[in-house]
Structure 1
Amino acid sequence: MAWPMRLGFVTFDCPKCSGHVAVDTENELIVNDSGPYKGTQWINDMPGYQAKAFTIKANAA
């Protein structure tokens, strides 16, 4: 089964983060910041590059 091509968004919130914060898919880095973070980013806006998984790097829950 092919992964469906759907434009979407991801909201990530890490109010207790104090260091580097990164969220990426296998295709693109969607968050690259430091300190507390809260934001929303578009995903799947590039044909042929659909997000199937996220990798989150943060120093807080």
Structure 2
Amino acid sequence: MEANMKRLVIITVGKTHSGKTTFAKELEKKLPHSFVMDQDNQAEFINTHYEKLQP
């Protein structure tokens, strides 16, 4: 990743089956260097990449 690249986090919320995942996957296709992280993987990601936030 380039040092001067700006970072952006987009969080979607909505009811079950409202199209959040579909929207996220389409957005991922249009944004280079992006990825979709579903709720089930969030805790693992945070624990891995943000160790200093752990109590």
- Asked if Structure 1 and Structure 2 have the same fold, meaning a TM-score greater than 0.5 normalized by the shorter chain, the answer is no
User: Which structure is higher in strand share?
Assistant: 1
- Higher-Rg structure is 2
User: Which structure is higher in helix share?
Assistant: 2
TM-score of the two chains, using structure 1 as the length reference: 0.27
TM-score of the two chains, using structure 2 as the length reference: 0.28
- Name the structure, 1 or 2, with higher relative contact order (CA <8 Å, separation 6+): 1
